[in-house]
Structure 1
């Protein structure tokens, strides 16, 4: 039961995090930076003489509230690298890590080819929807559907994807995350302490809401 609850929480956490936790974190960031940002823009507006009073300056700030979007776009922003470049590189890294862990096999390479195909499909669908539905959501939904008990191809995909050691994928992901974090140290310092409560809100909201869904599902089944 604990494993089922963890599985549901992990799966639903993707959707909750994308559509609930991140927008909530956005609001928290705006709340934490709002007063300072309004004062700075109002002072600049009055000094320039563009706006006659501070109230109009504050109204203008409310309409152009883009500070969080700018900071968020800077943190983690990278030059666009085509998928056809990144996917082979990450696949080679993943295969090399898996070979060190469990040894080489044709099944391992085939499994990575299947995963690459799924990633390309998710990226294509995201582009098709103009990124209104992110590729992560597409990929999570598609793989969950393919591996569900009602899927006629569930056995094939479960067996194929299980050939890849989970820790080998985790190693590659954490390596990329560490490199990205190191690149953005300066920008994270610019945001300062506000990143802590914003991050806690995103993580906590995602976990709690996903856990509630998992508990409801298990209680409903019982």
Structure 2
């Protein structure tokens, strides 16, 4: 992401709107491919739900609602506008980032909120959670098991950072803390994404309207009087959906790029690429070859079955994109994660085969092209991201804290009552 970001913002050989338009097309495929790989890692673990207790299930409510209830009003009060929605509807890890790109589009304020929190979480999220877990663990108020369940944030690095801190405080419970945190993280990865998309996000959007009225802010975060806020909120909502639809608009790729045009959020307008069968085939081939190559380099090994596994992931990607076109209300990110999870579940006849062909594919290695392409888009977004300044740091820390603490409190109640 850092290398892609450097290429995106450097001025010696700028990446223009036409190149970014091509990268957006590639990103559409690589994002769904990444989620397909994530689903095949989740599917074989579905049977573990039979042994999950109420405390582990209830803590997911804290992860879903904690950020919306606690962090959203702070973000609106600080003047982030609709960026507050993206920054607080979840802790914004990779699957949420992929969904935001498809749901809102890369030029939307909601996406910038998701992207900013994702970057901050990637850079110092594990350190922050380890400090927070150590602080709360040292208060002797929380049951260590409740704090362990709260660490199921959907981020492996944040979970391990918190587990390390709690294991130092409670060395005799280190094994149990690790097991509970890992199981909680699994639950978050399986159901947290769907809960975030279908529960937390709609709730966040509705509460955003309420808090915007209370704090007198418009969709750009500016202070306004009550009458002006209605029109702004309506305009922001339609503007976001209009952009999401514009991503499917077909324009000839050889038309002049409109790189000097800037919208109200300070983002350059890029042309779009004609989505022909040839361009789709090229995007799929590039994604598959890059996935095999980077997985081989990252894991240090390559099996013939890995090629079969990548092919299966590409097939799932294609099916999801077709289904999303047939049912526009459900984005391909939702389709592919559900399809891949179910297809690799061990209780289905084909599940063990799909799981065996994809078990050596590290989804983070295979998904690196997506991360690089996101970084390269910074040349378009850097002005808007810079305008968020220190405020997004406060909101990100609030989001991480709210998710962890709310889940730990609910787990504490479940354990003791």
TM-score normalized by the length of structure 2: 0.39
Q: Where do residues 63-78 of structure 1 align in structure 2 (5 Å cutoff)?
A: 63-66=234-237, 69=240
Q: Is the 8 A contact 1:13 1:206 kept in 2?
A: no
Q: Secondary structure at the match of 2:348?
A: coil
Q: Tell me the equivalent position of 1:151.
A: 348
Q: Is the 8 A contact 1:17 1:202 kept in 2?
A: no
Structure 2 residue 189 is the aligned partner of structure 1 residue 10: yes
Return the structure number with greater helix share: 1
1:89 Cα deviation after fit: 1.6
Q: Tell me the equivalent position of 1:184.
A: 381
Q: Tell me the equivalent position of 1:102.
A: 300
1: CA distance between counterparts of 2:216 and 2:238? 9
Q: Is the 8 A contact 1:147 1:157 kept in 2?
A: yes
Structure 2 residue 325 is the aligned partner of structure 1 residue 127: yes
Q: Where do residues 7-86 of structure 1 align in structure 2 (5 Å cutoff)?
A: 7-26=186-205, 27-28=207-208, 31=212, 34=217, 37=222, 39=224, 57-61=228-232, 63-66=234-237, 69=240, 80-81=272-273, 82=275, 83-86=280-283
Q: Tell me the equivalent position of 2:312.
A: 114
1:158 Cα deviation after fit: 0.5
Deviations along 1:63-106, one digit per CA (max 9) or x if unpaired, are 44449838x87779865454433322222211111222334443
1:134 Cα deviation after fit: 1.2
* Cα pair distance change 1:105/1:60, threshold 3 Å: closer
2: CA distance between counterparts of 1:98 and 1:114? 15
1:127 Cα deviation after fit: 1.0
1: CA distance between counterparts of 2:369 and 2:284? 12
TM-score normalized by the length of structure 1: 0.66
* Cα pair distance change 1:198/1:182, threshold 3 Å: farther
Q: Is the 8 A contact 2:216 2:229 kept in 1?
A: no
2: CA distance between counterparts of 1:21 and 1:14? 10
2: CA distance between counterparts of 1:76 and 1:152? 49
Q: How many residues align?
A: 197
* Cα pair distance change 1:164/1:155, threshold 3 Å: same
Q: Secondary structure at the match of 2:349?
A: coil
* Cα pair distance change 1:122/1:63, threshold 3 Å: closer
Q: Tell me the equivalent position of 1:172.
A: 369
**C-alpha RMSD of the superposition:** 4.0
2: CA distance between counterparts of 1:21 and 1:139? 20
